[in-house]
Structure 1
């Protein structure tokens, strides 16, 4: 009896856990899902279908969105109202990648982290090569 209880507990410990995050795009009803252990990312959204209540359209993992080395993964949506993708983050290493739907699958860029392992991060632009940020009007000089 004790052996059965331990086996059942071990099976639950290995069961997949998921995190869900909506796409930040204001006019898109898409939700992303990540397996928090493997980092695999998928997505679903509502689709119209004549003479029915509609359908659920799901997109499986494509390039870069499949299982990654075991770790502790999560999803982060930006506040950018026109962004349809999300960030897959590795909470243990700090690495990140961008995931989005491309045609009929979720794809993710290679994982990267500033100052760490992964793809190189571009150096900041030098002064004078882009617009100058403006400070918010506060009434003070």
Structure 2
């Protein structure tokens, strides 16, 4: 039984393209809060800039729960662009930077009163 090198190359190329498509299609970026004693993770919608956060909390007498903080003031959808999250290196900082890669604008997002809020974007 002989193997066709063309078939193998086609299979590998098809698999690579399928995996690349999945990576490109990922609509969110995730990053932890820099604070070393806080188990909070932020999420940003890469196209709209909407930010939310979740963290683990112990539940009395059993398994813990995931508590999420939906977008509040300033954390909702922004102008369509290309957004990501950037934690600072400040070990006691509970917030995170939302960065607009295309414009260079940034804002600080953090949890306040059970919502994720962000400052106005600035350069």
TM-score between both structures, scaled by the size of structure 1: 0.69
Moved over 4 A (4+): none
CA shift for structure 1 position 103: 1.3
Deviations 1:65-114 (A, max 9, x none): 0000100000000110000000000000000000000010000000000x
Query: In the alignment, which of 58, 61, 65 is matched to residue 71 of structure 2?
Result: 61
Within a 5 Å distance, the mapping from 1:1-141 to structure 2 comes to 17-113=27-123
1:16–1:35 contact (8 Å) kept in structure 2: no
Q: Which has the higher contact order (CA 8 A, sep 6+)?
A: 2
Q: Secondary structure at the match of 1:54?
A: strand
Alpha-carbon offset, residue 16 of structure 1: 6.5
Return the structure number with greater helix share.
2
Unaligned runs of 5+ in 2: 1-21
**Structure 1 residue ranges without an equivalent (≥5):** 1-11, 114-141
Does the residue aligned with 1:64 lie in a helix, a strand or coil?
coil
Coordinate RMSD, CA, aligned: 1.3
Shift of 1:39: 0.2
